[in-house]
Each structure stands twice: as structure tokens, then as C-alpha cells.
């Protein structure tokens, strides 16, 4: 998608504006608005994750990700829908800016979606190179942590140019493995929090809600 040619169709414009309008009407129950926004910016592409950014690649696996141009153009329509509903003139004001910060915070908390990196043709070759390196690191990270540490220790005891190079890759894979383990733990916590939040939002049993509130005292 080119920066000069990309344009939302009428249905997309209406969808994004409705998200802003819903958010303007009530911020206490916006799960539906957030879900609609996520669906509108999500596309399926082939590629891999590199340093937290998705890099398109013909060899990559199909993955659902947020599209940069849908996010950028869609955000303007969400803001417009919010401003129209609130009777605000223009989008460059504190009320709209504050709304967008709150909205994207909810998007991140509920779906772990953040604004994607802008695609650039100039960085495509480097991105593909990083993608191959990432795949190699992910393959190494599949090994047991003890196995990786044992090879690192063995290579470190026999210093050479090749061994130092190999050790660096193993250390990187080990750090990545530990990082992903922590991420899985954090994702599980987020999922449980979301489930609890959804149940509490739908609950109308005062006694039960009081019991839940007492649990956190």
C-alpha cells in the first residue's frame, strides 16, 4: 500500500466513525468499539516478527496483524466520529488527543495491539535479512535452556573467532527464549484479567460484586 494512493472505502470510513461515536457516548463499556476497531485494522499477511515489528516476507507464514495505513487513516475517522458526536470542531484539540490516548490504551490492554511500524521500501532488504536472522534465533531458542547453557560454556572454554561468533548467537537465543517465557506468563495474566473484567461488567448480582470487592481489600 502506497502512502500516496491508499484510501479507505465508504464502508471502512463509516465503520471507523461509528467506533469514535460509540466511544463518545460511553467510555464505561467500550469492548464492542475496541473489537470493531481491531477487526477494521487487521489484515492477513505473510511474514515474521522481528524485534517486535512484523516484517512481510513471501516465505513467512500467514499471520493476522494490524496494518499501518488502516491504523493511520482509520484513527483519523475514529477521531472525527468522536468529535462529531461531542460537537467538537477540528481534531487538533486536547479533548480528541486525550480520547485517542485512552482508546489506544484500551486496544493495547484488550488485544495487545499497538500502532504498527511504518513500512518503508528502503528498509525492505535489511528487514528480510533481519527476518532470516530472527528465524534462525527462534530455531535455536527451541532447544532446552540447559542445553544452550552447556554449549555456551563449552565454546567459552575454547575461545576462537568462530566460537565467539557462535556463542554470541547462542546467548542471543537464550535471552530471546527467556523473554518469550516471560511474555507467555504476562499474556496469561492479561487473558485472565480480561476474563474477570468481562464477567464483572456483565454481573448484576450486588452480593457477588461485594464479595469480589472484599477479596481485593
Q: pLDDT of 17-26, one tens digit each?
A: 999 999 998 8
CA 133 to centroid of chain Cα atoms: 21
Asked whether 76 and 91 are in contact (CB, 8 A), the reply is yes
d(CA 147, CA 7): 51
d(CA 185, CA 172): 20
- Is pTM, for the whole model, over 0.85? no
Burial 19-48 (b: 16+ CB within 10 A, else e): bbbbbbeeeeebeebbebbbebbeeeeebb
pLDDT of residue 1: 46
Q: Where are the domains of the chain?
A: 1-122, 141-217
pLDDT of residue 125: 55
27 backbone dihedrals φ, ψ, rounded to 5°? -105, 10
Low-confidence ranges of the chain (pLDDT < 70): 1-4, 48-53, 55-59, 120-131, 184, 217
Tell the burial category of 91 from Cβ atoms under 10 Å away from its Cβ (0-12, 13-18, 19+): middle
Amino acid at each position: 500500500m502506497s502512502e500516496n494512493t491508499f484510501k479507505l472505502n465508504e464502508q471502512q470510513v463509516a465503520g471507523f466513525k461509528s467506533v469514535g461515536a460509540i466511544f463518545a457516548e460511553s467510555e464505561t463499556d467500550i469492548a464492542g468499539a475496541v473489537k470493531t476497531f481491531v477487526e477494521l485494522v487487521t489484515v492477513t499477511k505473510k511474514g515474521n516478527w522481528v524485534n517486535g515489528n512484523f516484517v512481510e516476507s513471501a516465505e513467512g507464514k500467514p499471520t493476522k496483524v494490524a496494518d499501518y495505513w488502516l491504523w493511520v487513516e482509520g484513527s483519523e475517522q475514529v477521531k472525527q466520529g468522536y468529535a462529531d458526536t461531542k460537537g467538537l470542531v477540528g481534531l487538533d484539540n486536547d479533548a480528541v488527543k486525550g480520547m485517542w490516548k485512552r482508546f489506544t490504551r484500551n486496544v493495547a490492554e484488550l488485544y495487545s495491539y499497538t500502532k504498527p511500524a511504518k513500512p518503508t521500501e528502503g528498509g525492505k532488504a535489511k528487514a528480510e535479512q533481519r527476518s532470516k536472522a530472527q528465524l534462525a534465533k527462534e530455531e535455536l531458542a527451541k532447544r532446552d535452556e540447559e542445553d544452550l547453557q552447556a554449549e555456551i560454556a563449552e565454546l567459552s572454554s575454547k575461545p576462537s573467532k568462530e566460537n565467539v561468533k557462535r556463542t554470541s548467537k547462542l546467548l542471543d537465543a537464550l535471552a530471546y527464549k527467556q523473554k518469550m517465557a516471560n511474555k507467555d506468563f504476562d499474556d496469561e495474566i492479561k487473558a485472565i484479567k480480561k476474563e474477570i473484567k468481562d464477567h464483572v461488567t456483565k454481573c448484576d448480582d450486588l452480593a457477588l460484586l461485594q464479595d469480589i470487592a472484599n477479596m481485593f481489600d
